Amino acid sequence: MNIAVLIREKIDPVGNPIFSEDNKTISHLNKILSLDDSDLAAMKTAAKLKNQNPNSTIHVFYIGNNQYMLRSVLALGADQAELIKLKDGKQMFEIVQLIDQLMSEKKFDLILSGQQGAGTNGAGATLASLAGATLITAAIFLEQLKDGTGVATRTLGRGQRQKVTFTFPAFVMCDGTMNIEEVSSVPHLLSGAKIRIKEHEFRIPNKSERLTLQIPSPRPKKIFMPDSKGGASNRLKQILSGGVKQRNLDRLVGEPKEIAQQFINFLKKEEIIPK
């Protein structure tokens, strides 16, 4: 059985944050790197399944920058490892598609992860959907049956438990309360130190698009303008009367009913329509 383990290193602040004018982020003096208990539980679960089925292989996908932390994970019994470098502050959901591309190169029967490795914002559910695997969350116990299926015990909170039988491939997210007694052994330490780590460095480009927005102008209203050819008195009469009915003998201005009647009279006069 091919098993993939997804782990991400965690940054824990120590003491009071120290900021400087040049760097507004937390300094290296007051933070430490660690691994989440749920991620370690996922790796220990993979090692336990491998002990039950010696033909299994464990492939670790480590998201972070510290190879020493990765080596400590490999010492639990991993066979292959890939280091995915990601800058601090980036969210797991931003590289979901990139991780899926790496995992799709090999068909994994089981993908294990913790709350830190799968991240938040639905990253675990998205990976399971892209891989076409069954998603199981909050697992505290996992075992493989002889018929090729798996059984997971989930925690529902307040002491409630639920047993779920699933088929492979599956994506199992381990809970932080999962307790598995798996420790590093000398053979695993030696083999983990010899594993060649394949590194990937993903840079998420900043996408920007410039849009030109035009402020909408108010729709002009129809304003009556008197005939400029007339005198001042005639223009004043036109303004007071609300318009003229006929202008320069070729334009009709006035009420629609009157304009229509004038147009009909014009057609009759020109014998275009019968009188």
Going residue by residue through the chain, which has 275 residues, state the pLDDT in tens, using 9 for 90 and above: 899 999 988 877 766 655 555 555 655 556 778 888 899 999 999 999 998 888 999 999 999 888 888 999 999 999 999 999 877 666 777 778 888 888 888 889 999 998 876 766 678 888 898 889 999 999 999 988 777 789 999 998 888 899 999 999 999 999 988 888 777 777 888 888 889 999 888 765 555 566 666 666 666 555 556 566 666 777 677 666 655 454 455 666 778 788 888 878 888 888 778 77
Structural domain including 250 reads 232-269
Q: 123-131 and 96-104 helices cross at what angle (nearest 10)? A: 30
Distances (CA, A) of 92 to 57, 96, 172, 193, 226: 25, 7, 17, 27, 70
- What pLDDT, on the 0 to 100 scale, is given for residue 16? 62
Alpha-carbon span 52 to 150, nearest angstrom = 13
User: Residue 132, Cβ neighbours under 10 Å: how many?
Assistant: 9
Pair 86, 142 in one domain: yes
Provide the number of structural domains found in the chain. 2
Pair 108, 160 in one domain: yes
Helices (H), the chain: 37-52, 67-74, 96-104, 123-131, 186-194, 232-241, 256-269
Contacts of residue 232, Cβ cutoff 8 Å, sequence gap at least 6: none
Pair 44, 161 in one domain: yes
Residue type, 262: Q
Pair 149, 241 in one domain: no
The DSSP letter of residue 168 is S
Q: 262 and 252 in contact (C-beta within 8 Å)?
A: yes
pTM: predicted TM-score of the whole model, two decimal places? 0.67
CA angle 25, 30, 33 (to 5 degrees): 90
Pair 260, 197 in one domain: no
Q: Is the dihedral of CA 95, 174, 110, 78 positive or negative?
A: positive
Distance of CA 230 to the CA centre of its chain: 70
- What pLDDT, on the 0 to 100 scale, is given for residue 215? 62
